Amino acid sequence: MSEPILELRDVHAGYGSIKALKGISIKAMEGEIVSIIGANGAGKSTTLMTICNIVKATAGEIYYKGQCINKVASDNLPSMGLCQVPEGRRIFPRLTIEENLDMGAFFRNDNEIADDMERVFAMFPILRERRRQAGGTLSGGEQQMLAIGRALMSRPKVLLLDEPSLGLAPLIVKQIFDIINEINKLGTTIILVEQNAKVALSMAHRGYVLETGNVVMEDEASKLLNNPDIQKAYLGE
Ligand code: ATP
């Protein structure tokens, strides 16, 4: 059995007296899509922010490619291949699409940055069309594409996605998830946090269910999809 590319072991984290994660253990094997589902406030976003050391783990360890990364500054993680697309996208609204994409490659000094931008444009043709336009003028769906494109510019080995479907029309959601699948097929491991549990589990290999800061269930995604308790609580069935 190979090592997980990312592993959280009994991780605790929170905000002052609020304990948002109460000892969670989660792992992702290279090449997997792992979905984390749960209700509002379950701790999904906190999980991703703790992996990236934006929120500090107060106990437990986070391993990436076998190395403990608890103390690695969040700014250094993209250059190691671990990149997050945060909830709400957080693109740079005044910078152009091209400049936003360049920001994703800020630590790189190789000569393949332009090729990678071409690849992003091939994936999201609308971004090529608008490349000299300010990021803030894009629609919500286009901004999500830009945020994913910017992350791809760092050549991630593991991509953390926080609610990529939030606030988007169903047709756009499908487009975004098709692209996420494609990115995974090209070799990137994906950790997907979603309220849209049905879609998130449909595309994942495995899934975790978070409730008030604890992992209450983990299984192959297809088994979670067919589990009557999950169907009742999270899939609206
Ligand atoms: P949602 O789907 O609504 O985004 P979530 O599962 O991502 O929810 P988190 O955002 O991780 O949940 O929140 C976990 C807990 O931590 C909640 O009780 C939330 O109120 C609390 N929390 C989150 N961010 C902060 C913060 N900046 N300060 C204080 N408490 C916070």
Q: Does ligand 1 have an atom closer than 6 angstroms to the CB of 24?
A: no
Q: Where are the beta strands (DSSP E) in 134-234?
A: 158-162, 189-194, 206-211, 214-220
Strand pairing partners for 68?
A: 63
**Distance between CA atoms of residues 21 and 212, nearest Å:** 8
pLDDT at 137 over 90: yes
Residue 38 lies in a domain: yes
pLDDT at 1 over 70: no
Residue 177 lies in a domain: yes
Please tell me whether residue 20 adopts helix, strand or coil conformation. Answer: strand
Q: What is the ipTM of this complex?
A: 0.95
Q: Does ligand 1 have an atom closer than 6 angstroms to the CB of 48?
A: no
Residue 138 lies in a domain: yes
Structure confidence at residue 138 (pLDDT)? 92
Q: Does ligand 1 have an atom closer than 6 angstroms to the CB of 111?
A: no
Q: Is 160 exposed, middle or buried (0-12, 13-18, 19+ CB in 10 A)?
A: buried
Q: Does ligand 1 have an atom closer than 6 angstroms to the CB of 43?
A: yes
pLDDT at 80 over 80: yes
> What CATH number does the domain containing 76 carry?
3.40.50.300
Residue 217 lies in a domain: yes
Report the number of distinct structural domains present in the chain.
1
- Nearest atom, ligand 1, residue 162 CA: 7
pLDDT, mean over the chain = 94
Kindly give the distance from the C-alpha atom of residue 56 to the centroid of ligand 1, in angstroms, as a whole number.
14
Cα-flanking dihedrals φ and ψ of residue 166, to 5°? -60, 120
Write out pLDDT tens, residues 156-206. Answer: 999 999 999 888 888 888 989 999 999 999 999 999 999 889 999 999 999
Q: Does ligand 1 have an atom closer than 6 angstroms to the CB of 86?
A: no
Residue 1 lies in a domain: no
Spatial contact of 36 and 8, defined as CB atoms under 8 Å apart: no
Residue 196 lies in a domain: yes
Q: Does ligand 1 have an atom closer than 6 angstroms to the CB of 215?
A: no
Global pTM reads 0.94
Residue 161 lies in a domain: yes
**Distance between CA atoms of residues 117 and 122, nearest Å:** 9
Tokens coding 139? 């629609």
Residue bearing the CA closest to ligand 1, atom 2: 40
Give the domain range for residue 161. 6-235
Residues 87-97 have a mean pLDDT of 87
Kindly give the distance from the C-alpha atom of residue 88 to the centroid of ligand 1, in angstroms, as a whole number.
14
- Nearest atom, ligand 1, residue 14 CA: 16
Kindly give the distance from the C-alpha atom of residue 151 to the centroid of ligand 1, in angstroms, as a whole number.
23
Q: Does ligand 1 have an atom closer than 6 angstroms to the CB of 41?
A: yes
- Nearest atom, ligand 1, residue 38 CA: 6
**Distance between CA atoms of residues 191 and 195, nearest Å:** 13
Residue 98 lies in a domain: yes
Q: Does ligand 1 have an atom closer than 6 angstroms to the CB of 62?
A: no
Q: Does ligand 1 have an atom closer than 6 angstroms to the CB of 195?
A: yes
pLDDT at 42 over 70: yes
